[in-house]
Chains A and B, each alone.
Chain A
Amino acid sequence: MSVAASAPVLERLRREAWEAFRRASDPLKTAETWRRMDFGSWNLGALQAPASDGCQARLPALEAGLAAKGVILCALEEAMASHPSLVAPHLRRGVAGPDFAKLEAANLAGFSAGVFLYVPPGVAVDKPIELAFHHDPGIPFAFPRALVILGEGSQATVVEGHEARQSAETAASVAFSQAVLGKGARLDYFYNQALPKNAVHFWHQNAELEAGALLRHYSILLGSHLHKSQLDVALSGAGARSELFGLVYGRDQQFFDPHTTQWHRAPRTESDLLFKVALQDRARSIYTGLIRVEKQALESDAFQQNDNLLLSDSARADTTPVLEILTDQVRCKHGATMGPVSPDELYYLGSRGLAPQEATKMLVAGFFDRVLRHLPASHQERFSSEIEAELSRRLL
């Protein structure tokens, strides 16, 4: 199909999405998952017309030889034209459940910075692929969108980054992301949210894993003023495994509301999760994590841990780790902790000559270490030094 021939397909999709957006009720007041969100003065009603997208996706050039192996990396709109059968079903199905439906409709109707990555069966892409979304703060809404498809037995590392230059304007980004892992595929995925401190950011990713697939996912959340995200991982094929890591570091009046779902839908699936949240000043975090094990997901193993470190008296954290277990052949655990930096540890470090701030910095670095040391070698240094720099900036 030519570009021209596919244009009506995309146009229709957008038209339908806009209608759905106008029909959909505001999720912000009704749904349990939105109840605790504090939007301040920002509201969705400001969105009056579709296609007001303030975002650009910067795509790297593919390494020579990868294209020849069938790897595709291009704009999503372009992929709709060149590979409609690969792209359209996923776009149609979308990412969101009812809670995010209105936002996703806005995204589908308006996205112009869409990215499509396809790795054919058996192909391994060694070098990380950076999907860098640059938000233009001059335009009130950005609609980034990514679709990543890994064929059977393929491998890739993807870094989805969100950033923007500082600006007096408050811009909102509403990002959706889909990852589809074929049998035995292996994907390392980074979600790096480093937006300016006045940005509003929504993000929702859905990852579907076929049998034996492995997803390792890292969320590094440092930016924006309001952050609400949802990461849903569906372990749909036997033996699929996911490892989810999250690092949240909030300051000033930053507000983070990350959700995760580990959905076990097939036998012998495994999932692991570790979310580390540190907050200072008046920052606030609301973590909600669900593990759901369906009847057919026999002999599954699920784990979830959320730790919250409160670095100031006015920082605030909520956590709701939820389990829904529908069969007995499982091992499933979750844990959550919350508390300030231990006075004993500060005292000990003080007795070794460290000033309180230096000691606190060391303890926060240690707190984050369990996430950072799981990063693949290729990214460990980059994110470790970013966090290190952030700690120095914030705490000293």
Chain B
Amino acid sequence: MANISDIHGIKEDYGTKYGFHDEENYVYKSRKGLDRDVVIEISKRKQEPQWMLDFRLKAYDIFLSKPRPTWGNCDLVNAIDFDDIYYYLKPSKETADKWDQVPPDIKNTFTKLGIPQAEQKFLAGVTAQYDSEAVYHQINAELQKQGVIFLDMDAGLREYPDLVREYFGTVIPAADNKFAALNSAVWSGGSFVYVPKGAKVAMPLQAYFRINAQKAGQFERTLIIADEGSSVHYIEGCTAPTWSEDALHSAVVELIAKPSAHIRYTTIQNWANNVYNLVTKRAVAHENAFVEWVDGNLGSKLTMKFPCVYLVGRGARAEILSCAFAGKGQHQDTGAKLVFAAPDTSGTITSKSISKDGGRASYRGLVKAYPQATDVKVNVRCDALLLDPISRSDTYPTMEIDGRRVNVGHEASVSKIGEEQLFYLQSRGLSEAEATTMVVNGFFEAFTKELPLEYAVELNRLIQLEMEGAVG
């Protein structure tokens, strides 16, 4: 537990723990800014099939034609200078399957972030992406035998072109929004996962995304297909150096849960406070499938991310757990969307947010039921804690119900930490800072208890760091 004497500000240690950077030593770095030629060059260097180049170019036109969002934090979104970003940075010649083959400084970075150690202990597969491409990739031999495919997206396209072509962009079309269009035009890296019928992936697969270069854009593209009756847990983590210039991370993640499949997708986003994190994540849940998004947002300057599940098959289920910590200069504009398009479907959304040091946390959500969605149950719960008088919390839920026999419950609360709770804990001998940290950890428990143990410990530690300086 923290002592009052060594209290420091929010994310003060981010610099030493995550905020370092390597010298730039790229195999290829596209020129700054974006035009058709940059898009063509990316596709050419990746030796992609013609259909993917066509897809990229069409998406590029859509990107140009779409306006920036007119809702949310328009000031910050409008401040993004698309001409001042490097769209493609290739860190190494090829993706290694042994850490020894990864370029030493990059390997060193991931060692500092603890990835190889975690891989040995509790992961079934790891992809480590450094700026635009994966530098390391490995999957447990047992899974390979079961026919589980876990590759970085570029390799997925090379090795399974038909499978990729069948599903790529079907859940999130390029025209979905401006940033999905941008990603579709310049995507690089991300994960491709296919779990065959009935296969159960017992240990999580993990991808770790690292931005290194200044003014870098990272546009990973992830596609997960869980075939009938299969199950998989995928975890992603992200960090970046603390540059003075802003970086842009704009991912597209598509999940497809076939009948009776189960996908859990966990994110622990801890970008540096100069990263724009504008991500489109959407899942389709077929008959009796179950999709979970566990979404933790600690870092970034502005995050706009609303993981979504379309429940299109009878009996499909969805659970979205969203957790945000908004510190100084941060706006966490996060939330969840559930779209019911089939009978006997159900879903829950739980959102927890904390705002501190002038940070702003917004919950933005949608619950929509189409006429064919009969006998639906959905429950939404949003809790927000404000830790000081200069921070801000918003709740923007929308519920549009067109279905029959649809039961919707929504509850939200905003408050500070209860005086009685603090008083009680202090009467038990805890300092005010310790008591506050304990209450905050308890507040986030619904989230941390869903994480694998090592992550839960790490997250609790992060929260403790974030909380130091909360009182005093």
Contact = CB atoms under 8 A, between A and B. Distances in A.
Interface of A: 32, 295, 298, 308, 310, 313, 316-340
Given A310-B401, A332-B414, A322 B396 contact: yes
B149 interface: no
A113 to B, nearest CB: 36
B407 A338 contact: yes
A328 B398 contact: no
Contact of B395 (A323, A326, A327): A323
Contact of B401 (A329, A330, A338): A338
Contacts of B80: none
Contacts of A332: 413-415
Given A320-B399, A328-B386, A328-B388, A336 B408 contact: yes
Closest 10 CB pairs of A and B: A328-B386, A323-B395, A339-B407, A338-B408, A328-B416, A336-B410, A313-B404, A332-B414, A333-B413, A318-B400
A313 B405 CA distance: 8
A337 B408 contact: yes
Contact of A320 (B391, B398, B413): B398
A317 B389 contact: no
Given A298-B389, A310-B401, A334 B407 contact: no
B406 interface: yes
Of A295, A298, A328, A339, most buried by chain B (CB within 10 Å of CB) is A328
B398 A330 contact: no
23 contacts: A298-B389, A308-B401, A318-B399, A319-B399, A319-B410, A320-B397, A321-B412, A323-B393, A328-B386, A328-B387, A330-B386, A330-B415, A332-B413, A332-B415, A333-B412, A333-B414, A335-B409, A336-B399, A336-B410, A337-B410, A338-B401, A339-B406, A340-B406
Contacts of B399: 318-320, 336, 338
A318 B408 CA distance: 11
Mostly helix, strand, loop or mixed at chain B's interface? strand
Contact of B410 (A318, A327, A335): A335
A323 B413 CA distance: 9
Contacts of B51: none
Given A295-B390, A320-B397, A326-B392, A337 B414 contact: no
B414 A335 contact: no
A335 B411 contact: yes
B41 interface: no
Contact of A333 (B400, B405, B411): B411
B89 interface: no
Nearest to A319: B399
A325 B394 contact: yes
B386 A340 contact: no
A214 to B, nearest CB: 24
B386 A327 contact: yes
Contact of A321 (B390, B397, B415, B416): B397
A325 B392 contact: yes
Contacts of A327: 386, 389-390
A32 B411 contact: no
B402 interface: yes
Given A310-B401, A335-B410, A338-B408, A329 B396 contact: no
A21 to B, nearest CB: 25
A331 B415 contact: yes
B369 to A, nearest CB: 9
B451 to A, nearest CB: 27
Contacts of B398: 318-320
B327 to A, nearest CB: 14
Contacts of B392: 324-326
A321 B408 CA distance: 13
Contacts of B467: none
Contacts of A308: 401
B404 to A, nearest CB: 4
A340 B405 contact: yes
Contacts of B387: 328
Given A316-B401, A318-B401, A338-B401, A325 B384 contact: yes
A327 B391 CA distance: 6
Nearest to A322: B396
Nearest to A320: B398
A39 B406 CA distance: 26
Contacts of B389: 295, 298, 327-329
B412 A334 contact: yes
A319 B408 CA distance: 10
Interface in B409-445: 409-416
Given A328-B389, A339-B407, A323 B401 contact: no
Most buried by B among A295, A320, A325: A325
A328 B397 contact: no
A320 B400 CA distance: 9
Contacts of A321: 395, 397, 410, 412
Interface string B357-390: 0000000000000000000000000001011111
Nearest to A338: B408
Nearest to A336: B410
B386 A325 contact: yes
B184 to A, nearest CB: 27
B257 to A, nearest CB: 26
A33 to B, nearest CB: 12
Contacts of A319: 398-399, 410
B220 to A, nearest CB: 32
B383 to A, nearest CB: 10
B348 to A, nearest CB: 15
A338 B409 CA distance: 7
A329 B416 contact: yes
A124 B412 CA distance: 39
Contacts of B71: 32
Contacts of A330: 386, 414-416
Contacts of A298: 389
A325 B393 CA distance: 5
B325 to A, nearest CB: 15
Interface in B146-180: none
Contacts of A313: 404
A317 B399 CA distance: 8
Contacts of A335: 409-412
Nearest to A343: B405
A320 B397 CA distance: 6
Contacts of B408: 336-339
Nearest to A328: B386
A329 B414 CA distance: 10
A310 B395 CA distance: 25
A326 B398 CA distance: 21
A310 B390 CA distance: 41
Nearest to B399: A319
A340 B404 contact: yes
B426 to A, nearest CB: 19
A328 to B, nearest CB: 4
A327 B388 CA distance: 7
A291 B60 CA distance: 40
Contacts of A317: 401
A344 to B, nearest CB: 12
A335 B396 CA distance: 12
B409 A337 contact: yes
A231 B58 CA distance: 46
B419 to A, nearest CB: 11
Given A322-B394, A332-B414, 14 more contacts: A310-B401, A310-B406, A316-B402, A318-B401, A319-B398, A322-B397, A325-B386, A328-B386, A329-B389, A330-B386, A333-B411, A335-B409, A338-B399, A340-B405
A324 to B, nearest CB: 5
Contact of A323 (B388, B391, B394, B405): B394
